[in-house]
Structure 1
Amino acid sequence: MLSPDWNHIRAFLATAETGSLSAAARKLGLTQPTLSRQVAALEAELGVLLFERLGRSLALTEAGRELLAHSRRMGEAADGLALAATGQAQTIEGLVRITASDGISAHILPGVLERLRQQAPRLRIEIVAADDIRDLQRREADIAVRHVRPEQPELIARKMQDTTARFYAARSYLERRGTPRSRADLSAHDFVSFGDIPQFLGYMKPLGIRLSDENFPVGSTSGLAAWELVRQGFGIVPMLDAIARKSPDVEPLDLDDLPPLEFPLWLATHRELHTSRRIRLVFDVLADYLTGLKMRF
């Protein structure tokens, strides 16, 4: 009777859920060659091919898809054992505040909240929709999801993955104004602002995108409000692909001379992580969720 090594199954599961060896290695804290050897060892143990390589990504074979469901059940059981051994998750209680941009707060975090409700039902989670990393320093939040690594020495940061973003517009806007095909075309279009316009212009300039205040006839300090304005046809905005693909009424602009933009995704907290069971639990569950989430184009 076959009895595959759990480490090999765990490597397969992480690779299947992240879609690449490099992302899976980061998730498990392994080097990519080590993880690759573990996956190859599992294939040798089972005598089947689990992945096919498609360009830079991996696709599950039929045998891999069959194994995935069983592996997930094993992973859930292992997670349950770890939680029972390290913290009695069912008994952990208290308030944990997570701060993230309002887009991530509304469109990304609900999935991890469901996991936390199942694992630690006595916890209370509050989402602080804001972009200011000082929320952690003032203890207005316990954990932050950010695109920039915090430099404050009293904070602990862990990179989750690299995300992608593109420019998006509603079909109604594109039908009315035409579809830009290059960076130069963007200067003749309307944009929706969702914050500081001079700062946004500063981000666009190194990309070779020349805009001015006149390109921003409407906007909002709220990212959610700005996104709704985009959906209603008021202009163009850069948006994370993981968020934009939830809105079928907007389309990505496939600019011939500009590949998808890349942004790192960081998870940060203060040093109470080492002494607070509730913060440790939420940080670990959130890290696992964000690392495995498909956030690239």
Structure 2
Amino acid sequence: MDINHISLFVLIADCGSLSRTAAKSGLSQPTVSRNLKDLEELIGAPLFERLPNHLELTAMGQQLLEPARAVKSAADAFAFEAKVAAQAGLPPVRISATQSVSSFLARHAAELQQAARNNGTEVQIDPDRTALLLADRQAEIMLRLRRIPDSGAGIVRRVGSLGVGLYAAQTAGEPDHVIGLTANRPGPQPQWLDGYASSSGLPIVLRFSDYYLRHQAVNAGTGLTLLPSFCGDSDSRLRKLEGPIAELQEDIFMIVQKDKAQAASVRKVADVLAVIFATHGHELSGAAQTTQPPA
């Protein structure tokens, strides 16, 4: 006996008509009618009386309705447990990225969350820059800046660019110092900001390697600093002094491990990442100009 016929019998009893059952189940009315007829022939007795505009359970239908509900409930529980077990068996899709790119993705967590739910898996993002080289061996997807990594490591595609600008607090008046970057921060930003401080005659009194600490500091004091465009442009407490700065623009590359690229969950998450970068890339690059209130 087909469990789907039993579930449909319960739905017909609850809806009271073939048309309402068809609308609720997404099946056509002829299909509902045919499946009901098949079940009645299998049982050897009618389950419903066909009355104008509605159906009523026969004595046999009334007798079988509660057992049918129990069968349907057990089948639903089985399907749920099977789905949970399947999800538990799927490994997470791990993304290795810099702290700034990870923060950008966190702003668009809804899209990643939907991808995780659709895949029945977890998406994990590792924003720890010091662990990137170690994490490469463990991450299915890597997001890298500045240069294309060795193509032998995986399937590489450029997905966007990271813009950087110079920002100060709206209420700070004329900035009187620079909030610098530590020298061990990779990329051209530390040297560029040191050169800016030297040419402008402003002292560097604080240094932070991570942009979110510079973001906190510039809002709390009277200095100026470099921030990713998506961070500075979206903060109404800041004013942009310069940017996006062309020589600090960094390409973003997505690399999917070759031996994991065929996994459906990895492929779907990579596709969602590409859509996020394509849809919101103007925020990331700084091309979207946020109107700043006058200083």
Task: Pick from 221, 243, 250 the counterpart of residue 233 of structure 1.
Answer: 221
Give the deviation of 1:192 after TM superposition: 3.4
Alpha carbons of structure 1 residues 136 and 259: separation in structure 2 relative to 1, 3 Å:
closer
Matched residues, number: 190
Task: Pick from 267, 273, 280 the counterpart of residue 280 of structure 1.
Answer: 267
* Aligned counterparts, 1:246-261, within 5 A: 246-254=234-242, 261=248
Amino acid in structure 1 at the alignment position of 2:114: Q
Give the deviation of 1:291 after TM superposition: 1.7
Contact 1:170–1:231 (CA<8 Å) still a contact in 2?
A: yes
Residues of 2 paired with 1:197 and 1:136: CA distance? 18
Contact 2:148–2:156 (CA<8 Å) still a contact in 1?
A: yes
Give the deviation of 1:249 after TM superposition: 0.9
Residues of 2 paired with 1:101 and 1:119: CA distance? 21
Alpha carbons of structure 1 residues 143 and 165: separation in structure 2 relative to 1, 3 Å:
same
Q: Which residue of 2 aligns with 1:270?
A: 257
Give the deviation of 1:220 after TM superposition: 2.9
Mapped pair 1:242 → 2:230: yes
Alpha carbons of structure 1 residues 195 and 250: separation in structure 2 relative to 1, 3 Å:
farther
* Aligned counterparts, 1:46-195, within 5 A: 93-106=90-103, 108-121=104-117, 122-131=120-129, 133-139=132-138, 141-152=139-150, 153-173=152-172, 175=173, 178=174, 189-193=177-181
TM-score with structure 1 setting the length = 0.53
Structure ID, larger Rg: 2
- Structure 2 residues not aligned, in runs of 5+: 1-85, 288-295
Give the deviation of 1:262 after TM superposition: 2.5
Residues of 2 paired with 1:202 and 1:134: CA distance? 23
Instruction: State the secondary structure of the residue aligned to 1:172.
Output: coil
Give the deviation of 1:234 after TM superposition: 5.2
Amino acid in structure 2 at the alignment position of 1:110: A
Alpha carbons of structure 1 residues 234 and 127: separation in structure 2 relative to 1, 3 Å:
farther
Give the deviation of 1:110 after TM superposition: 2.6
Alpha carbons of structure 1 residues 266 and 105: separation in structure 2 relative to 1, 3 Å:
same
Residues of 2 paired with 1:136 and 1:150: CA distance? 17
Residues of 2 paired with 1:282 and 1:275: CA distance? 12
Task: Pick from 197, 202, 223 the counterpart of residue 191 of structure 2.
Answer: 202
Give the deviation of 1:116 after TM superposition: 3.2
Instruction: State the secondary structure of the residue aligned to 2:196.
Output: coil
Contact 1:100–1:146 (CA<8 Å) still a contact in 2?
A: yes
Instruction: State the secondary structure of the residue aligned to 2:171.
Output: helix
Alpha carbons of structure 1 residues 194 and 246: separation in structure 2 relative to 1, 3 Å:
farther
Contact 1:166–1:253 (CA<8 Å) still a contact in 2?
A: yes
Contact 1:136–1:269 (CA<8 Å) still a contact in 2?
A: no
Contact 1:148–1:265 (CA<8 Å) still a contact in 2?
A: yes
Give the deviation of 1:149 after TM superposition: 2.6
Amino acid in structure 1 at the alignment position of 2:205: P
Alpha carbons of structure 1 residues 274 and 101: separation in structure 2 relative to 1, 3 Å:
closer
Alpha carbons of structure 1 residues 97 and 274: separation in structure 2 relative to 1, 3 Å:
closer
Q: Which has the higher contact order (CA 8 A, sep 6+)?
A: 1
Contact 1:105–1:127 (CA<8 Å) still a contact in 2?
A: yes
Residues of 2 paired with 1:270 and 1:237: CA distance? 36
- Structure 1 residues not aligned, in runs of 5+: 1-90, 180-187
Task: Pick from 201, 209, 212 the counterpart of residue 224 of structure 1.
Answer: 212
TM-score with structure 2 setting the length = 0.54
Deviations 1:43-63 (CA, angstroms, capped at 9, x unpaired): xxxxxxxxxxxxxxxxxxxxx
Contact 2:136–2:142 (CA<8 Å) still a contact in 1?
A: no
Contact 1:117–1:123 (CA<8 Å) still a contact in 2?
A: no
Residues of 1 paired with 2:216 and 2:168: CA distance? 11
Alpha carbons of structure 1 residues 151 and 260: separation in structure 2 relative to 1, 3 Å:
closer
